[in-house]
Amino acid sequence: MKTKAYGAHASNKPLEAMDIERRQPGSHDVQIDIAYCGVCHSDLHTVRSEWAGTLYPCVPGHEIVGHVSAVGSEVTGFKVGDTVGVGCLVDSCQHCASCGEGLEQFCENGFTGTYNGKTPDAPGHTLGGYSQQIVVSDRFVLKIRHPEEQLAAVAPLLCAGITTYSPLRHWGAGPGKKVGIVGIGGLGHMGIKLAHAMGAHTVAFTTSESKRQDALDLGADEVVISKDPDDMARHAGSFDFILNTVAASHDLDAYTRLLKRDGTLCLVGVPEHAHPSPNVGTLIFGRRSIAGSLIGGIAETQEMLDFCAEHGIVADIEMIPAQKIDQAYDRMQRSDVRYRFVIDNASLAA
Ligand SMILES: [Zn+2]
Ligand SMILES: [Zn+2]
């Protein structure tokens, strides 16, 4: 089945309209008419081959929402017309220990990413959500319970939402806990909303005084200007957990010092240039940890979507047609978006 898409033929070429092939739905497949697709920093890094290993043509997009347009004969959980989502994963081995625990993102045999992942389907690698339709195994399709008018703003939950929800849950963000969120961008703005909804005392860290009011509006109880040493020092030894969404290389000690005994600083961004080595003494004297976290499994992604529907949480978005994607990437690199671009996939018909 041919479908219209937007992607790149090489790392140095702009994205352009293209026709791609989707497989006919198999017995366990769900075919989705994509309504909207969020734009993640990973899309930009992959399509421009900044992480190496990009296969072309490259069609990015792993924050996918839309409606079921066909189901295979064995599919029982979805029917035509259902509102659904697809995140960063479209397959995994289903038999390793991590898959057995519902942690497909840590599949020991390698998960299949929604784009740039190995697949028997043409052209040999997966093609993502900057397209009119996608066909996905029913195990990797999520139910969306938000009102239909919020659908575009739900899309970023599929990557930015789960990337922040999973560590907040894993490290017990909730009432009585003091939780920091570093960086107020696509990930961080979701982290603030989620930590606040979980009932944690939520502190936003930003380098920019101009984002103070935004952070408060997103649900932060306090805002700390991370460039102000006095402001930082006031919070020394007080945090249970800090979620650091900043991928650029920076001094991690500034945050480990703010942790209580047994507190954890969790990183979710991979820096292009390594962070300076953290001070080991700060970790030892206080049994503090530096940890990492990767998106979330399918069960937890569903839990996150349900939590967000129940609490009325969506991303703050700016909608664009697919034709504006390169300009959107340039603006993302300047952090000039509040806080996530979402493609209106109806624009692909043009
Ligand atoms: Zn992403
Ligand atoms: Zn596995």
> In the chain, where are the structural domains located?
2-159+316-349, 160-292
User: How far does residue 176's CA lie from ligand 1's centre (Å)?
Assistant: 30
In the prediction, which pLDDT does 76 show? 97
User: How far does residue 160's CA lie from ligand 1's centre (Å)?
Assistant: 6
pTM of the predicted structure, to 2 decimals: 0.97
Cα–Cα dist 119/22, whole Å: 12
In the prediction, which pLDDT does 177 show? 98
CA diameter of the chain: 63
Pick the CATH number of 160-292 from 1.10.579.10, 3.40.50.720, 3.90.1150.10, 3.90.550.10: 3.40.50.720
User: How far does residue 40's CA lie from ligand 1's centre (Å)?
Assistant: 5
User: How far does residue 105's CA lie from ligand 2's centre (Å)?
Assistant: 8
Output b/e per residue, 190-211; b: 16+ Cβ within 10 A. bbbbbbbbbebbbbbbbeeeeb
Whether the CB-CB separation of 204 and 181 falls below 8 Å is answered with: yes
In the prediction, which pLDDT does 37 show? 98
Using alpha carbons, select from 136, 101, 118, 173 the residue that is nearest to residue 29. 136
In the prediction, which pLDDT does 350 show? 78
For 46, 78, 122, the CA distances from 125, given in Å and listed in that order, are: 13, 25, 7
Whether the CB-CB separation of 257 and 229 falls below 8 Å is answered with: no
In the prediction, which pLDDT does 198 show? 98
User: How far does residue 325's CA lie from ligand 1's centre (Å)?
Assistant: 15
User: How far does residue 110's CA lie from ligand 2's centre (Å)?
Assistant: 7
Q: 24: how many CB neighbours lie within 10 A of its CB?
A: 10
In the prediction, which pLDDT does 136 show? 98
List the CATH code of the domain at 2-159+316-349: 3.90.180.10
User: How far does residue 92's CA lie from ligand 2's centre (Å)?
Assistant: 5
In the prediction, which pLDDT does 261 show? 98
Counting ligands in written order, the one closest to the CA of 112 is: 2
User: How far does residue 209's CA lie from ligand 1's centre (Å)?
Assistant: 27
In the prediction, which pLDDT does 316 show? 98
Q: Split the chain (350 residues) into runs of 10 and give each run's mean pLDDT.
A: 96 96 97 98 94 94 98 98 98 98 97 97 96 98 98 98 98 98 96 98 94 96 96 97 95 97 96 93 97 98 98 98 97 93 95
In the prediction, which pLDDT does 117 show? 97
Counting ligands in written order, the one closest to the CA of 298 is: 2
User: How far does residue 104's CA lie from ligand 2's centre (Å)?
Assistant: 6
H-run or E-run covering 26: none
Cis-peptide, bond into residue 60, ω within 30° of zero: no
Cis-peptide, bond into residue 115, ω within 30° of zero: no
